[in-house]
Amino acid sequence: MAEDSGLEKTEQASLQRLEKAREEGDVPRSRELATFTGLLAAGSGIWLSGDRLIRQLETNLVDGMRFDRAQAFDFSLLYAHLAHNLWNLFLAFSPVAGLLLLVAMFSPALIGGWLFSPNALLPNFARINPLTGIGNLLSSRSIMELVKAIAKAALVGTVAWLVVIQQKEAVMGLSLESLPSAITHMANMLWIAFISMTAALGLIVMMDVPYQLMHYANKLKMTRQEVRQEAKESDGNPQIKAKIRAQQREMARRRMMSEVPNADVVVTNPTHYAVALKYADGAMGAPIVVAKGADEVAAKIRELALEHAVPILEAPPLARALYQHAELTHEIPEALYTAVAEVLAYVFQLRTYRQHGGIAPITPGEIKVPTELDPLHDEISTQAGNGEILL
C-alpha cells in the first residue's frame, strides 16, 4: 500500500481499503500457523494409518529385494516390477499426503480467509528492486521475523533436548531389547518427542497470530487526509449520482405502475392528481395507496386504469388529500376513512352491477374531506370568490 509522506496514520482502515488490499492478494498470514497445522495433519495421518503404512513398507522392502533371472534379461519386466512397487508406495502414503494437501489448502482460512487473487500473479518489478530489497532487510518486520526464527529454534531445540535427556536411559537400553520390542519402544519415544515439539510450536503460533493481525491492521491504517479523500471519491461524480437517482426513481415508478391493474379504484382531481386505492376485507385494517402521482404520472395511472377496467372516480378534494397525506403502500390516514368508505361502497356496488346486472349505482356527488387535509382549500375558496374554478 502507498506510504504517507509526513502524515501520521491514526485512522483504522476502511472497508474499501481492506477490500482493495484483498484484491491485491494482501491478507494477514501466519507461516507458523501453516507449519503447525501441517505437522498436526502429518502426525495424525501417521497415527491413524501407522500400522497399515508399516506393513505396506515392509512388503515393498521385501518385494524390492527379490530379483529373478527373467528380469535380468528383460528390462520391461524389471520396469513393471519397479512401477508396481512405486504404486504400492504411493498407495501407502496417499492417506497422509491427502490429509496434508487438504490442510495446506484450507489452513489459510483460519487467518485472513481463503483467497485467490489474479493480481498477485502479475509481474511487479518493484519486488526485484535491489534498493527495495535492502530496505526490506533492514525493516522492523524483517527484524521481528529474525527474532521469531531465533525464538522458535531456541524453544523447539530446548524442548527436544529436554525430551532426549529424559529418555536417555531408555535410548541406551534399546540395544538390550528384542528387535520388535525395540522398534515399538523407539516409535513411542519418537511420538512423545513429536508431540512435545509440536506443542512448543503451538505456543509460538498463539503469539504469532495476534501479532500478524495487529501488524496487518497497523500497515493498512490511514491518515485523516486519506479518509477524507476516500469519502470524496466514494461520493462520486454528481452527474453520475443524479443519473443513478433518476434510474432508481424510474424503477420505483415502474413497480408502482404494475400495481395499478390490481387496484379497486382510482380517485382523480380529475387531471392534476390520481391516487389508486386497494382494500381487501379481512386482510387489511384500512385501504392502502398502491399508486399515486401528479400531472404526467397521474395521466399514466388513469390510462392503465382504463385499460384494465379499474373504476375511476372524480373527487378533487379527496384526491388532493390522499396525494398529500397518504404514503405509498401505507394505509390511508384515519381522518379520511369516511370519505374513502363512501368511494369504496360505490365501487363495490358498481362491481356487483357489472357482474350481475340490476340497478346501476348512483355516482357519489361531492365527497367532503376535513378542510385541514385539503392543501388547496384556502386557495379554492379565494378563487371561488373571484369566479374561478380549479380542476
| Phi, psi for residue 51 in degrees, rounded to 5 | -60, -45
Output the tens digit of pLDDT for each of the chain's 391 residues. 444 444 677 788 878 887 887 777 778 888 888 888 888 888 888 777 777 777 777 787 777 777 676 666 777 777 787 888 888 888 888 888 888 888 888 877 777 766 666 665 566 655 566 666 666 666 777 787 788 888 888 888 888 888 888 888 887 887 788 877 887 778 788 888 888 888 888 888 888 888 888 888 888 888 888 877 777 766 665 666 777 778 878 887 888 888 888 888 999 987 788 999 988 876 777 888 888 888 888 899 889 888 888 888 888 888 888 888 888 888 888 888 888 888 888 888 888 888 887 777 888 878 888 888 877 765 555 555 555 444 4
DSSP assignment letter at 369: -
Find the helix packing angle between 238-257 and 296-307, rounded to 10°: 30
Whole-structure pTM value: 0.47
Contacts of 308 (CB under 8 A, 6+ apart): 260, 261
Residue 26, CB-side half-sphere exposure with 13 Å CA sphere? 13
Number of neighbouring beta carbons within 10 Å of residue 291: 27
Contacts of 91 (CB under 8 A, 6+ apart): 56
CA distances from 287 to 143, 313, 351 (A): 73, 16, 17
Assign residue 310 a region (left: φ > 0; alpha: ψ between -120 and 50; beta: otherwise): beta
> 343, 318 in Cβ contact below 8 A?
yes
- 86-113 burial string, b = 16+ CB within 10 Å, else e? eeeeeebbeebeebbeebeeebbeebbe
Angle of CA points 159, 165, 170, to nearest 5°: 125
H-type alpha helices, the chain: 15-23, 31-65, 69-73, 75-106, 130-137, 140-166, 168-172, 179-219, 224-235, 238-257, 296-307, 316-325, 337-356, 377-385
Q: What's at 102, amino acid-wise?
A: L
pLDDT of residue 381: 52
pLDDT of residue 389: 44
pLDDT of residue 388: 47
All three cell numbers of 205 = 503460533
Cα-Cα-Cα-Cα dihedral sign, residues 65, 71, 73, 75? negative
Instruction: Provide the CA 72 distance to its chain's centre, in angstroms.
Output: 63
Which candidate, 290, 284, 371, places its Cα nearest to that of 326? 290
